[in-house]
Amino acid sequence: MILILAFGIVVLASTDPKLALEQLVFAAFGLILYFLVAFTRPEYLKGFSPFFYVISITLLLITLFLGSLTRGSIRWLPLGFGGLTLQTSEISKF
Read off the pLDDT of each residue in 42-68 and give the average, rounded to a whole number: 88
Read off the pLDDT of each residue in 51-59 and give the average, rounded to a whole number: 92
**Predicted pLDDT of residue 45:** 82
**Predicted pLDDT of residue 24:** 92
Threshold 0.75, pTM exceeds: no
Read off the pLDDT of each residue in 76-81 and give the average, rounded to a whole number: 80
**Predicted pLDDT of residue 93:** 82
Say if CB 75 and CB 67 are below 8 A apart: yes
Residue 50 has pLDDT above 80, yes or no: yes
**Predicted pLDDT of residue 10:** 94
Q: pLDDT-based confidence at 68, cuts 50/70/90?
A: confident
CA distance 13 to 20: 5
